[in-house]
Chain A
Amino acid sequence: DQQVKQNSPSLSVQEGRISILNCDYTNSMFDYFLWYKKYPAEGPTFLISISSIKDKNEDGRFTVFLNKSAKHLSLHIVPSQPGDSAVYFCAASPDRRSEKLVFGKGTKLTVNP
């Protein structure tokens, strides 16, 4: 039973445009959400997080939106750059202070020059 779903295995966008990566979850106990970026043969790098008390969190070119009623979150990258090409993982935790982290399968983003 997949509790965190990233339904698009891949996404291709042009440099300078917006990239939108989507994530759905099924467990209503999840209260804290994170996005990680992963290059081949490297470990994931933490990008941005959001707590359920917020519906938006912004950090530079990266913005995460949370729709708790729909159990949906999205990561927006504006403007997209070729260096953003990587696999993006959505992850969820029951609490900011929980050691449990459930990952989605990832979405491979390709930003074309």
Chain B
Amino acid sequence: DGGITQSPKYLFRKEGQNVTLSCEQNLNHDAMYWYRQDPGQGLRLIYYSQIVNDFQKGDIAEGYSVSREKKESFPLTVTSAQKNPTAFYLCASSTREWQPQHFGDGTRLSIL
């Protein structure tokens, strides 16, 4: 069954630590995205990648970094520079048609 796998489901970070959220897809999609959702808010775009070895900043990229070394994988690193990292993080992918985007089940990041 094709889909998007995000791991872990829950993640805890200590102050000053970097953490990496995993996103893998086996849909053979070209484009991948990272969004952040805060309580009572819509999804906001952090980074997106349309092709391997290339990615673009979204609306709230500060304090985050990504890599796209393989078509199937688009990990997101939440760095210590992100001052308010507690949120629900969603990864998505799409074909070259770009829409619709298909989402994974998310990772909830909390600060200890």
Contacts and interface: CB of A to CB of B under 8 A. Distances in A.
Interface stretch (B14-22, B41-49, B72-80): B41-49
A44 B31 CA distance: 17
Place the interface of chain A in its size category: 20 to 34
Nearest to B43: A103
Interface of B: 4, 6, 9, 31, 33, 40-45, 48, 50, 90, 92, 94, 97-106, 108
Contacts of B99: 32, 34, 49, 93, 96-98, 101
Contact of A44 (B43, B45, B94, B108): B43
Interface of A: 4, 9, 32, 34, 36, 41-46, 49, 89, 91, 93, 96-106
Nearest to A108: B40
Nearest to B56: A99
Contacts of A44: 43, 90, 103
Contacts of B40: 9, 105
Nearest to B106: A43
